[in-house]
Every structure is written in structure tokens, then in C-alpha cells.
Amino acid sequence: MKNDSSFDSGGGNWDYDDIPECTEYLCSFFPITTLIPVTIVLLIVMVVGVIGNTITILIIRRYKEMRTTTNFYLSSMAMSDLIILLSLPFDLYRLWKSMPWIFGGFLCRFLHFISEGCTYSTILHITALSIERYLAICFPLKSKVLITKTRVKCVIVFLWVFALLSAGPFYFVVGIAQMYNITNDSDTGWECRYTFYAVHSGLLNVMMWVTTTYFFIPMFCLIILYGFIGKKLWKSQNSIRGRNTAQRDKSHRQTMRILAVVVLAFIICWLPFHIGRIVFANTEGYEMMKFSQYFNVVAIQLFYLSASINPILYNLISKKYRSAAYKLLRPSTAKKKTYNTIKNDTGDKTESSACVHNEFVTHI
């Protein structure tokens, strides 16, 4: 459920003379000088995120060497982020014109439900992936038995089902209602907003605290897990190891660097969003409502940034991801480059398909 940007959905008592009037083209709490830069930022985030997450999904599905348990989680997270980004235009519409809502009651409810479900799914994926890395690093022998591709696929399906079921009540928290403009004494059309029952029964506050718990409990678990993992990797630096063990530890550290940055970006981008929800749920009075709306318009930009930033992080941190992306986007050039590097001194120009793929590792 997004932090609502419509000025009459919070339920407070304020002076309606301070609220901007709706026109034929604009019905927003925010002035045009705020809406334009926010819209530009969100559209850029959407384009970058859709392209980046699509590339991530294609890389992992197209190349067999990239189909590892870790990458299965990353691919599923990319799908979740992609769905979130595709709902962004409807939030932009509401940002500019909170009413009338022209897309019908089903789409009003479904957009809130699917966005919330994907948000939960992303959180659960990050947590499950961190648990898997904890087992792989701290209990390597047990993890080889417990963590298999088939089981990970089953876990991913379970995470999606659990996330969508958890978000189910949000389908009934919002709906469309006929709005009345007391300023010019006329109907303003339908608005997608929180239902009267959800606001006055306390269901809205309950669900806001549920979704906030969904953030803070996994964040607490991640801090503990990464503490144990860091301790294990630190101790392994001083132990006597063979070549294979050293290579495995190097791979673990590479994976952990990526995951640590992803989790840090997740916390930075989503913490203001959840704080904004708590503020909005307890808003009373016009000044507090005004602060809540401007705080949330910043938080929603960070929220969508979190759905687009992961592929950028993979590209910056992982050379293997960059190589895979280059091969995907420019297959003929990448194939020619690999072909030239595997020619031997005798002039043999036979291309080995195995060598073409050996540049990839098991983890992004």
C-alpha cells in the first residue's frame, strides 16, 4: 500500500481553504514546481529499472552457468522489482490527479495488492538468500545436502505464495468512492482511496503496522546473520587452507559484498518509506498532514529507486555480471572476442563452445 498523496484521505481535521483546488488538468496537493521534477526522476528510475531487471532475468535464464541457487533468488527478486516498477505510472497519475480515478475499482484494489505483495516478496527473498549464504559459509557440508536447485525453486514459490497471501487484506483496504468538493459545491468524480471501513475500524492502522513489521523484523535478522558470516570469514583468513578452500572463500566474499550492498541499499531506500507510513497513519491537523505528504513524496522516490538499483549494483561490483550483460547485449562481438582468445599458436581456428561459457562463474 503506497503512502497516499491525496489530500483528503488522511482523516484529519484541517482548514480546507489551505488545500489547492482541483482543475481540469491538475488535482494534487503539490504545486507544479514539485510535480515536474519528481515526475522526471521517477520516469528515469522506471526506465533504468525496467531495462536493468529485464537484463538480469535474461542473463540468468539464458546462460546455464548462471543458473545457481543464489542467482535464482536474484532473478525472482528482479521479477518482483519489475512488477513494482510497472505500477509506477498509476502512482504518477494519482500524484498529479488524485481524482477522478478513471481506471475502475478492480485496478484500484489490484494495484495496491500486487505492489504490497511484491514488496513482501522482495523482503522475504533477501532474507532467504541471506540465510542460504549463512549456511553455505558457516556450515558448508550441510549446505551442500540441504541447498539444492529443486529445493530453492520450491522455497521461491513458497515465498511468493506467502507474500501474496499476507498482502491479501490490502485488496479490501482501498476502493473507489464518489468525492464531493466543498469548495465549489460539486461532485469531483471517483477517487481511489482508503475505504471508510478500513479507516474507522482500525484495519488500516493494523495493516500498516503489519507491513512495518515485515520490514523491521527481517532487517534485525539480517544484521544478526551478517554478523555471524563476517565473523566466520574473518576467522578463515587466519586459518591454514588449501587452494580450493581459498578460492571458495574468495567466491564467498565476492557474493557477500554484493549481498551486503544490496541489503544496505534496501535499508536506506525503504526505511523512510516505512517511517512515512507510520507518520501518515497518525496524522492529525493540516501542518502535520503537509509534512507527511512532502516526506512521503521523497520516500516514494526512494521506494522505486530500490526496485531499480540492484542491477546497477551488480554491474558496478561484479565483473562476471558485466561480462554476461555484454555477451547478452552484443552476442556477435562477445563471441568474436572469445573466439580470438582461444586460437592456439598453430593457427587452429576451431571454436569451442565450452570455452565461450567458461568466463562465467557460479555466482554473480
191: left (phi over 0), alpha (psi -120 to 50) or beta: beta
**Secondary structure class of 212 (helix, strand, coil):** helix
Which residues have a Cβ under 8 Å from the Cβ of 295 and sit 6 or more positions away? 272, 275, 276, 279
Residue 266: predicted pLDDT: 77
Instruction: Point out which residues pair with 176 in neighbouring strands.
Output: 192
Do the domain assignments include residue 244? yes
Outline where DSSP puts E strands in the chain.
Answer: 174-181, 186-194
* SS3 letters across 312-342: HHHHHHCHHHHHHHHHHHCHHHHHHHHHHHC
Residue 243: predicted pLDDT: 56
Distance, in Å, from the CA atom of 301 to the CA atom of 267, rounded to the nearest integer, reads 14
Residue 352: predicted pLDDT: 34
Q: In a structure prediction context, what are the per-residue pLDDT tens digits for the chain, which is 364 residues long?
A: 455 544 333 344 444 445 556 666 677 778 888 899 999 999 999 999 999 999 999 988 888 878 888 889 989 999 999 999 999 999 999 888 877 888 888 998 999 899 889 989 998 998 898 888 888 888 888 888 888 889 999 999 999 999 999 888 888 888 887 765 544 545 557 788 877 777 777 777 777 777 778 888 888 888 888 888 877 777 766 554 555 566 666 666 666 777 777 778 878 888 887 787 777 666 666 677 777 788 888 888 998 998 898 888 877 777 778 888 888 887 766 555 544 443 444 444 333 333 333 333 334 4
Do the domain assignments include residue 1? no
Residue 67: predicted pLDDT: 82
Distance, in Å, from the CA atom of 129 to the CA atom of 142, rounded to the nearest integer, reads 16
**Secondary structure class of 309 (helix, strand, coil):** coil
Its domain, for residue 131, covers 16-325
Q: Cell numbers at residue 101, please? A: 480515478
Q: What CATH number is attached to the domain comprising 23?
A: 1.20.1070.10
Distance, in Å, from the CA atom of 157 to the CA atom of 149, rounded to the nearest integer, reads 12
Residue 135: predicted pLDDT: 87
Say which residue the cell 468524480 belongs to.
Answer: 189
Are 156 and 76 a contacting pair, CB within 8 Å? Answer: yes
Do the domain assignments include residue 359? no
Q: What is the DSSP letter of 66?
A: G
Q: What is the DSSP letter of 20?
A: P
- Least Cα distance to 125 among 298, 272, 310 occurs for 310
* One-letter amino acid of 313: L
Number of domains in the chain: 1
- Least Cα distance to 325 among 45, 55, 119, 29 occurs for 55
